[in-house]
Chain A
Amino acid sequence: MDSTDLARLERRVRWAYERGRLRRALLGVAPVFVIVAVTACVAHQPMSTLWFGLATVSVGAAMLWYGRDPQKAVLPGIAAGLVPLVLALCANSMHSCGADGCSSLCVHACAVGGVVAGLAVASVGNQRRAGIWFWLSASSLTLLTGAMGCSCIGYSGVAGLGIGFAAGVVPGLLRTVFAKKTS
């Protein structure tokens, strides 16, 4: 085979490599479809759950396809996001009623879940001494997964999740940044 044929073969094989990665990525995010379907059945606002679910699946698949740090962030990101998701779904069916009427516990559950998820992501990131792409990827997936449940009372739930998550993850992130600067 001459060099032109080899170059053509290399290009063809490169496509095959990318296709292989894509196939693997789609298989990898398949369990997320189950999570989205179950959440959509339970959630009060299935449409927003489906949109956030679709975003979670797409971003997760893209990260798995790309590989490297983002790929390693998929499992911890989604696992951490399950905490606010489950808490929000549980809070959906509960109300705290006082003299002024009833209020949903959704925002509180999302904020608490966000803190726990943030701490979990920070713990994994510190343990692995992960780079910035891991932190960004894991955080985005955690927020998207959690948002599937936290959109229960509109975007204030998602905001609660975001604030809680930031409160949980920032100390860990700062610890990593300063540890890197001092070493």
Chain B
Amino acid sequence: MGTDPNTLDGLMARLADGDRTVFARVFELLWGPIHRLCVSLLKNDADASDAAQEAMHKILERASDYDKTRPAMPWAMALAAWECRTLARKRNRRREETDEPSNERGGEHPEEEFEQRDLTAAAVSALGELSDTDRETLVATFWDEAASVSGATLRKRRERALDRFRKTFRRLYGLD
């Protein structure tokens, strides 16, 4: 594959190959987007930080398994989204158990924010039910990242992924 060795894809390929000199650069390139994704999904700085750290841990632990034919960022984002989902679930479960008032970032409309967070957690949860390819396509679409395919193939894949996502969401929560 003629990937530029200085792009994230190229650097990830080199890291997967055992070139440790690019480790710091890969870490630097991934941290920002992963952290932002976690903040947007979890709406809580502390939780987002925890999830992003855990996600970085998982992503780089699996760096050697990275498939060089696929773009690195959506792959990493999918792993991070999964991590956020896991953490959100864990937190929700704990909140249900303790039934304590939340001391997370409060807004003017805490009810709305709570609903929004639940909805996001539900979406991430539904995303977790999809295949790797579907998840990667949807995350790439969300982040406007280049997917491994383009043009008509990407549109078709996106349509199918969205369709499956809708069905999964309906199956899990009974609504669109």
Interface residues of A (CB under 8 A from B): 1, 6, 9-10, 12-14, 16-17, 19-21, 24, 66-68, 71
The distance in angstroms between the C-alpha atoms of A9 and B30, with both chains bound, is 13
Task: Find chain B residues with CB under 8 A from A24 CB.
Answer: 64-65
B23 (CB) vs chain A CBs: closest residue: A14
Do A13 and B17 have beta carbons less than 8 Å apart? no
Interface residues on chain B, size class: 20 to 34
The distance in angstroms between the C-alpha atoms of A19 and B58, with both chains bound, is 11
B126 to chain A, nearest CB (A): 28
The distance in angstroms between the C-alpha atoms of A17 and B65, with both chains bound, is 11
Do B18 and A12 have beta carbons less than 8 Å apart? no
Known interface pairs A13-B27, A21-B64; A71-B57 also in contact (CB < 8 Å): no
A-B contact pairs, 7 of them (CB 8 A): A6-B31, A9-B56, A13-B56, A14-B60, A16-B61, A17-B60, A68-B19
Do A9 and B17 have beta carbons less than 8 Å apart? no
B148 at interface by CB-CB < 8 Å: no
Task: Mark interface residues in B13-46 (1 if CB within 8 Å of A CB, else 0).
Answer: 0010111000110010001000100000000000
B62 at interface by CB-CB < 8 Å: yes
Task: Find chain A residues with CB under 8 A from B53 CB.
Answer: 9
A62 to chain B, nearest CB (A): 12
B49 at interface by CB-CB < 8 Å: yes
The distance in angstroms between the C-alpha atoms of A29 and B64, with both chains bound, is 15
The distance in angstroms between the C-alpha atoms of A15 and B15, with both chains bound, is 14
B123 at interface by CB-CB < 8 Å: no
A172 to chain B, nearest CB (A): 24
Do A17 and B18 have beta carbons less than 8 Å apart? no
B63 at interface by CB-CB < 8 Å: yes
Do A20 and B62 have beta carbons less than 8 Å apart? yes
Q: Among the listed A10, A66, A67, A68, which residue makes an inter-chain contact with B24, where contact means beta carbons less than 8 Å apart?
A: A10
Task: Find chain B residues with CB under 8 A from A14 CB.
Answer: 23, 60
Q: Among the listed A12, A20, A66, which residue makes an inter-chain contact with B63, where contact means beta carbons less than 8 Å apart?
A: A20
Task: Find chain B residues with CB under 8 A from A1 CB.
Answer: 35, 49
The distance in angstroms between the C-alpha atoms of A141 and B74, with both chains bound, is 38
A12 (CB) vs chain B CBs: closest residue: B57
Task: Find chain B residues with CB under 8 A from A19 CB.
Answer: 61
